Amino acid sequence: MTTTTTSIGGGGEDRVLATAQQIVKSLNTPKEVREDMLLIFSSFDNRLSNITDLINGEDSKAENDRFEAAEKVIFRWESNSEAHRNSVPWEESPDESGEYLSAVDEILTLMEGLSVRSDNELVDRAENALQIAMSRLEDEFRHILIRKTVPLDSERLYGSIRRVSLSFASNDGEIDEEFESFGEEDRDAGRFHERGGSLGDTDVDLIHPDAVVELKEIAERMIRSGYEKECIQVYSSVRRDALDECLVILGVEKLSIEEVQKIEWKSLDEKMKKWIQAVKIGVRVLLTGERRLCDQIFEGTDETREICFNETAKGCIMQLLNFGQAVAIGRRSPEKLFRILDMYDAMADVLPDLQQMVTDEYVVIEARGVLDELGDAAKGTFAEFENAVQSEASKKPMLSGEIHPLTRYVMNYVRLLVDYSHTLNSLLDTGEEELQRLQGLPNDDLGIESMSPIGHRLLLLISNLESNLEEKSRVYDDGAMQCVFLMNNILYIVQKVKDSEIRKLLGDQWVRKRRGQVRQYATGYLRAAWSKALSCLKDEGIGGSTSNASKMALKERFKNFNANFEEIYRIQTAWKVPDAQLREELRISISEKVIPAYRSFMGRFGSQLESGRHAGKYIKYTADDLEGYVLDLFEGTPGVLHHLRRKST
């Protein structure tokens, strides 16, 4: 195509240029498109070749005007920054803050165009203005984060945790002869194990919602300007401090492993309870809220969002994990087991949420490691308890033959363990050693093969307790006392099993066999306690028939029976059978065995002495007297016979 040249005066050329310029401007197209259009125009008429310089000059002037206007806004805020900060906060002056952000946007847009031009002075001015603006926005970002942080309402959060109170008391040390019994007797004393439940409705705002928009707008400008690192540092620093303050409110202290391991049990138990609550609230409320906040403020910048959240959450998470680890590797003692299991459950409960939120692999690995360590601590502590029950060697006898503190301690401990069956089944296994011990038990018909791991371990644990009680019964020289002691303790074990979830683990057959044991001990008691007295009521050795029996022999028999009965009464009124039903059954068994024998002996031989002198010296009691005295046995209060019930002859 041939370029057309028209010969007209200078004024005509100006009009052509003006017209072309007006056409291009009226189209309101981007700069690159305008330049392409001018190239096309100039190809038609060489008089339009100068229009590019003309329009570029005007564009440059317009850019300078816009830049100077934006620069003026930046410097005006800078000169008045201290006054602004001390008067009206950024988020409460939307017109001025909007103007400032628009100025920043203008400078950023101009800088994107200046980056390929050679006007070094303008570039320097733009960079300087942007640096000043970023410093200002960084400060405002920090101040808004601080001012608009919502204080943690710990009362509402604690109120949302449903608590389950279980009977428990610690003996603050190893199992020994100074057992604290705990359970139903200790509820009034306030010693109980409080197990934290799950959280209710806990959706909370960590930052006032109306400030999130301002924070998002500032973050976008800082990231666009290349100040992403500064934005991350400010955000994570402020929010990290806020989370630290939340942990303080929740009662979680910064303690080293050494400091944790030096804390005495009562204080440590309180800290463990607070830790359990803090883990639940920390992950389900605080970190979930932080995740949501990061998603809102850094929307559209995935990498920045992840870095901000991870940097913010890491300190809080690691502080919680450090305490959990310190407890897990600490000294193992039975009273810690339930709280360790609570810690394990809390950690296992929140770990999936934690893994979903946190992308810092180091933190996730640490969290899994602490969960494993708590699991190992629970298993090790359970094993320590098993060993302690088996090896507890106190020889101090129970003077009244009642329930041994070891029995109370172990059975109430076991009742609590059952509440953790699901957790313990996942942690415990039945190894070769346990299998051999189970096979060695005389319980082939208990269905051991179908028992759960916790069922196996409880069966072994109670078997160890029973063996220990057998050994402890040998401290009594009196065979009858041995039987009463074992009756009391085995029945207590049976009742604790029968009236709890333990029965489902051990089965009804186990309960029936132990009830049979109690009956065997009752039979053994009757034989050991009353055989000597009953032998005085036999016919053998009296020296003749009913009518001509030796009075001397009869006197000796009645005298010996009285002495035996009075000795039994004196001793066994001090013995104690706490269970009312067992106590009544024993008295009935004694009466059924002794009273008929005494009444029969009296019927056959009593008349031979009653007619003589000093009859009351030998026939001290009627059968009814004896039956009344039997009712005084096993009350735990020593008694002395005064013959007040004897009927006059």
For residue range 71-100, list pLDDT tens digits in order: 787 887 666 655 555 555 666 667 787 888
pLDDT given at position 397:
84
- Quote the pLDDT of residue 440: 55
Tell whether the model's pLDDT for residue 463 goes beyond 80: yes
Mean pLDDT over 5-9 rounds to: 44
465-472: long-range contacts (C-beta < 8 A, 24 or more apart)?
Answer: 465/389, 465/406, 465/407, 465/410, 465/411, 465/493, 466/490, 466/493, 467/390, 468/389, 468/390, 468/392, 468/406, 469/404, 469/406, 469/407, 472/394, 472/395, 472/397, 472/404, 472/406
The answer to whether residue 30 is domain-embedded is no
pLDDT tops 60 at residue 270: yes
Residue 528's contacts (CB-CB under 8 Å, 6 or more residues apart) are 478, 479, 480, 482, 483
- Indicate whether 301 and 232 sit together in one domain: yes
Domain end (from 326, 359, 389): 389
Residue 64 domain-assigned (yes or no): no
**Residue 204 DSSP SS3:** coil
211 and 310 belong to one structural domain? yes
**pTM beyond 0.85:** no
Domain end position, chosen among 364, 389, 414? 389
Q: Would you say residue 87 lies in a domain?
A: no
The verdict on 407 and 325 lying in the same domain is no
Looking at the structure, tell me whether residues 482 and 348 fall in a common domain. Answer: no
Instruction: Give the structural domain span for 606.
Output: 537-632
In this predicted structure, what is the pLDDT of residue 104?
85
Q: Are 264 and 375 in a shared domain? A: yes
Same domain flag for 560 and 414: no
The mean pLDDT value of the chain amounts to 81
Beta pairing, strands 192-199 & 161-167 = antiparallel
Q: Does residue 403 share a domain with residue 384? A: no
SS3 263: coil
Query: Given this model, what pLDDT does residue 353 score?
Result: 94
Mean pLDDT, residues 388-407 taken together: 89
- Asked whether residue 418 falls in the same domain as residue 376, the answer is no
| Predicted local confidence at residue 8, as pLDDT | 41
Residues 337 and 465 in one domain: no
Question: So what's the pLDDT on residue 109?
Answer: 84
Mean pLDDT to the nearest integer, 199-213: 78
pLDDT digits (tens, 9 = 90+) for 302-336: 899 999 999 999 999 999 999 999 999 999 999 99
Residues 418 and 356 in one domain: no
Query: How does residue 294 score in pLDDT terms, banded at 50, 70 and 90?
Result: very high
Q: What is the CATH number of the domain that holds 591?
A: 1.20.1280.170
The total of structural domains in the chain comes to: 3
Tell me whether residue 294 is in a domain: yes
When pLDDT is averaged across residues 438-442 and rounded to a whole number, the result is 58
Q: Are 546 and 628 in the same domain?
A: yes
